[in-house]
Amino acid sequence: MPGTTNNSAVPLSRLHALRSHFHSRATRSYSARHNALKALKRSLRKHEEELLAVMHADMRKPRFEAYMADIGLVHAEIDLALANLRDWMRPEHVPTPLALWPANSNIHPQPLGVVLIIAPWNYPALLVLSPLVGAIAAGNCAVVKPSEETPHTAAVLEKIIVEAFRTEQVLVVQGPGADVIPPMMEAFRFDHIFFTGSPAVGRKILTMAAPQLVPVTLELGGKSPAIVDRSANVDLAAKRIAWSKFFNAGQTCIATDYALVHADVMDAFLAALSKHTTTFFGKDPRRSPHFARMVNDKHFQRVKRYLAEGRVLFGGQADPAERYITPAVLTDLPMESMVMQEEIFGPVLPVIPWEEPEEVLATVARNPTPLAMYVFSRTRSVQRFFTERIAFGGGCINHCLLHFGNPHLPLGGVGTSGMGCYHGKRSFEVFSHIQGLVTASRLLPEPGVHYPPYSTWKEKVLRWVMG
The residue from 141, 149, 158, 253 that is catalytic is 253
The residue from 48, 149, 168, 219 that is catalytic is 219
Is residue 82 packed enough to be buried (19+ CB in 10 Å), middle (13-18) or exposed (0-12)?
Answer: middle
Of residues 179, 61, 184, the one with CA closest to residue 121: 61
Pairwise CA distance, residues 238 & 424, whole Å: 31
Pairwise CA distance, residues 307 & 328, whole Å: 8
Q: Is 130 in contact with 69 (CB distance < 8 Å)?
A: no
Triad 191, 215, 84: Cα angle to 5°:
70
**Cα distance between the two ends of the chain:** 63
253 is catalytic: yes
Of residues 122, 88, 80, the one with CA closest to residue 107: 88
* Largest CA-CA distance found in the chain, in angstroms, rounded: 87
Pairwise CA distance, residues 249 & 256, whole Å: 12
Using alpha carbons, list the distances in angstroms from residue 331 to 275, 278, 314, 357, 392. 17, 18, 10, 19, 24
Strand order in the sheet with 141-145: 4-5, 170-173, 141-145, 114-118, 192-196, 216-219, 418-419
Using alpha carbons, list the distances in angstroms from residue 111 to 115, 139, 260, 450. 10, 5, 44, 34
Pairwise CA distance, residues 216 & 206, whole Å: 7
Pairwise CA distance, residues 404 & 401, whole Å: 6
Pairwise CA distance, residues 169 & 22, whole Å: 8
Active-site residues: which are they?
Answer: 219, 253
